[in-house]
Chain A
Amino acid sequence: MARRPAVTGPAADPAGLYRTVALIRGFEQRAVELVRTGVIRGGIHPCTGQEAVAVGTCAALRPDDVITSTHRGHGHVLAKGADPARMMAELAGRTTGLNKGRGGSMHAADFSVGVLGADAIVGAAVPIATGAAWAMRRAGGDRVALAYFGDGAVSQGVVLEAFNLAALWQVPVVLVCENNGFATSMRPEQTMAGTVTGRAAAFGIPAETVDGMDPQAVLDAATAAVARARSGAGPYLLECVTRRFDAHHTWEHTARPRYRTDAEVAAARSRDPLDIQGARIPAATRAAIDAETAGVLDEAVRFALAGPHPDPAGALDHLYSTGLRPRAGVL
């Protein structure tokens, strides 16, 4: 099995933030193409447009901090430092993937850089991150956990229960709501009574709303939230107001449900984190980063496609940590 060196998470300087936004954007463009050509099966949930949240928050974390992610998790996983080539191989279902092809887009995990995994059940990872944060604090040190979830998740009971535990036990967890304005097709005004920050207020968790299209604004807010959690002062909630430019899921490219107007999409695209952060660095630097990123991603696709498909005989490898072998379906 090819083991590639881990790539570090996003640098917190303006060029570093831009580089990670560009990496995620380019990664997803290539991944969408691979879905269309049938290399990636099952489809993906692109986070195109939302990169600033992943980049700004992960730039505030240390390599030994951990995150849990969502079904729309490519940006989080890459921003935390996972190797884009092994990530692409995972999406393509190869043994060289982060999860050896067992997880795919919605479950990408890389424990070597603190990615405990993306979770496909809305809100389900929030208590998991809370428990991990509690255990890390018990073990000593000052590591924190960060849980991503969407605006749809704040109506999940388990998320609110986790807020209660986090606040009650002053757990070092940073709660990051990516409010992208749509729970699949449903707008917050259709799904949410009250507000995201109001949910936090009910549990005594400090919260703020930030511009989730601006990597620097997210970084500034996340730096304070992470420092607070690290100091032992308990959880903090960041509501990052952002927009996804693409579909909920690549299946939407086929089914084409209509739930937002062209004008809304155009308005969202007019505030592109790539341009917002790109404007903060010299044009030559931006061009150099773009070229470098294209090379990294070309290599990622090459690496992914070169990876072997898993042996069907090993379909249930890793089902049990203890190596218990399940009975076959046909004897």
Chain B
Amino acid sequence: MPWLSYLKALNRAIGDEMERDPAVCVLGEDVGVAVTYATAGLLQRFGGDRVLDTPISEQAFTGFATGAAMAGMRPLIEFQIPALLFLVFEQIANQAHKLSLMTGGQTRVPVTYLLPGSGSRDSWAGQHSDHPYSLFAHVGVKTVVPATASDAYGLLVTAMRDDDPVVVFAPSGALGLREDVDFGALAPVPLGAGRVHRAGTDVTVVAVGHLVHDAVAVAEELAGSVSVEVFDPRSLHPFDWQGLAASLERTGRLVVVDDSNRSCGIGAEIVATAAEEMRLTAPPRRVTRPDGAVLPFARDLDLACQPTRAQLRAAVEKSVGAG
């Protein structure tokens, strides 16, 4: 079977949706030459009135997409770096997201915001290394973090077909991954449906984005001594709480690994919900970035702020020991 790279999956999803639906258009900086690769070939295929290279005006073109969506288009915006989301938080959280409710359901705002390269990029320093998915889940914007190439395809397609704003975080730690997959089997993946990558009976590890692969690796390391179930929520809002509850029914123990800051991060919400509502036989644990972290430049310092396999393994072992 052919190998599908994560980046190619994003590219293929956009192209397939543009083919299927003439209302889909792409906006962003350098999307014509596709500096991130996610938009490669789209300008040639679909032309300059559907693939628009924008000026460096993130706030205006994000608001512009909202208006275009209200007038019938389905724009996808590509942002080259995740920190630009801080710049356009007003346009997404305070405008696009709120318009359906504020208008009493008179309009919908189907815009997809694609971040091909979120999280640490290996020493790109403080303003290029954020992974701000928890912020969007917090304000209620649909938030997706695919871990694999086929999920990247399926979740991006679903995001583009969704009638609400959706932010799709493609972690830089996952962009280089390839998956042995039949292209014909690629299909939309619903929001709010988690995926069990590895079944287990002792402890559930909830892993977000590229950390799914670390969690699977740790589960394999521990195979024989601890049976680890790896649960990938795939979308953080909506979140597959039923899927998590079912997993905890099997295991009763929870470790969350999440590449966002500890305080008020999605990991905190997962732990809190499990503690309130689900079966836990041991205290839940989190492995995250430090509180309020800003990733430093030097590689060792950058890595020191990110969740590691060793930290995850230790948390899993503590969880089992405490049970």
- Interface with A: B65-73, B254-262, B279-287, which one? B65-73
Interface size on A (CB < 8 Å)? 52
**Interface pair B59/A132, CB less than 8 Å apart:** no
What is the bound-complex CA distance between A168 and B102, given in angstroms? 31
Interface size on B (CB < 8 Å)? 46
What is the bound-complex CA distance between A237 and B238, given in angstroms? 42
**Interface pair A331/B64, CB less than 8 Å apart:** no
Question: Which chain B residue lies CB-closest to A325?
Answer: B238
What is the bound-complex CA distance between A168 and B68, given in angstroms? 16
Q: Given known contacts A131-B64, A132-B67, A165-B64, is B103 in contact with A107 (CB within 8 Å)?
A: yes
What is the bound-complex CA distance between A157 and B63, given in angstroms? 12
**Interface pair A116/B102, CB less than 8 Å apart:** no
**Interface pair A130/B164, CB less than 8 Å apart:** no
Q: Mark B89-133, 1 if CB is under 8 A from A, else 0.
A: 011001100011111111111100000000000000000000000
* B311 located at the interface, meaning its Cβ lies under 8 Å from any Cβ of chain A in the complex: no
* A324 located at the interface, meaning its Cβ lies under 8 Å from any Cβ of chain B in the complex: yes
What is the bound-complex CA distance between A3 and B291, given in angstroms? 52
Q: Mark A303-331, 1 if CB is under 8 A from B, else 0.
A: 00000000000001111111010110001
* A66 located at the interface, meaning its Cβ lies under 8 Å from any Cβ of chain B in the complex: yes
- In the complex, how many angstroms separate the beta carbon of B111 from the nearest chain A beta carbon? 10
The CB with the most chain B CB atoms within 10 A, among A121, A128, A134, A145, is that of A128
Name the contact of A129 in the complex, choosing from B67, B69, B192 (C-beta under 8 A): B67
**Interface pair B72/A318, CB less than 8 Å apart:** no
Q: Mark A115-132, 1 if CB is under 8 A from B, else 0.
A: 011010100111111111
Q: Given known contacts A134-B64, A162-B63, A331-B276, is B164 in contact with A322 (CB within 8 Å)?
A: yes
Task: Report B51-69 residues with CB < 8 Å from chain A CB.
Answer: 52, 54-55, 57, 59-69
**Interface pair B101/A109, CB less than 8 Å apart:** no
**Interface pair A135/B100, CB less than 8 Å apart:** no
Complex interface: chain A residues within 8 A of B54 (CB): 165
Q: Mark A203-233, 1 if CB is under 8 A from B, else 0.
A: 0000000000000000000000000000000
* A100 located at the interface, meaning its Cβ lies under 8 Å from any Cβ of chain B in the complex: yes
Complex interface: chain B residues within 8 A of A157 (CB): 59
Name the contact of A124 in the complex, choosing from B63, B70, B100, B106 (C-beta under 8 A): B63
* B contacts, CB < 8 Å to A: 49, 52, 54-55, 57, 59-73, 90-91, 94-95, 99-110, 140, 142, 162-164, 192, 238, 241, 276-277
Task: Given A109-B102, A127-B66, A139-B71, output 6 extra A-B contacts at Cβ < 8 Å.
Answer: A99-B104, A109-B106, A121-B95, A124-B95, A158-B59, A161-B61
